[in-house]
Amino acid sequence: MPITNLNKNEFPFWSEIEYYNIIKLNNNQKYYHRKKSEKEEIFIGRGDCDLFLDENVSKLKYGNHYTVDAESVDIISKSEQSIVIIVGGNWETKIGNCGVFKMTWSENPKNIGDPTNYDRNTDFDNHYHDC
């Protein structure tokens, strides 16, 4: 399973992901984002945020995502601490599924994905996820 480095934004040649960014915001802190890829999704990994696109405001909570259809967006945290994940790339118009999920340690980890040659400590299935 490939692991990417946020500072390098290097992905396997077959990946439709071109970049991602993780932004940590404090309450009422603002982040200005200019679209960098043909397709982009904004995910809320923690807290609540308001997204300002042109004259529209979208209120997002943990686990929500938003398809970016404007050239830029202002993101304002409405929680003590928010985490925003922006993913950009060149995927097909229709996305099979996307979302935010938590990884937790498991006392009895099991693998429902591809075989692994290392000890497991979660129940996360072992195959590449464009996430």
The answer to whether residue 62 is domain-embedded is yes
Same domain, 64 and 122: no
**pLDDT tens digit at each of 131 positions of the chain:** 456 666 777 787 888 888 899 999 999 999 999 999 999 999 999 999 999 988 889 999 999 989 898 899 999 999 999 999 999 988 876 665 666 666 677 788 777 766 767 777 776 665 555 54
Question: Does 38 reside within a domain?
Answer: yes
Total structural domains in the chain? Answer: 2
**One-letter amino acid for residue 28 of the chain:** N
pTM of the model as a whole: 0.76
Judgement on whether residues 53 and 115 belong to the same structural domain of the protein: no
96 is a domain residue: no
Residue 43 lies in a domain: yes
> 56: domain range?
17-89
SS3 state at 131: coil
For residue 119, being part of any structural domain is answered with yes
Q: Which residues pair with 104 in a beta bridge?
A: none
6 lies in a domain?
no
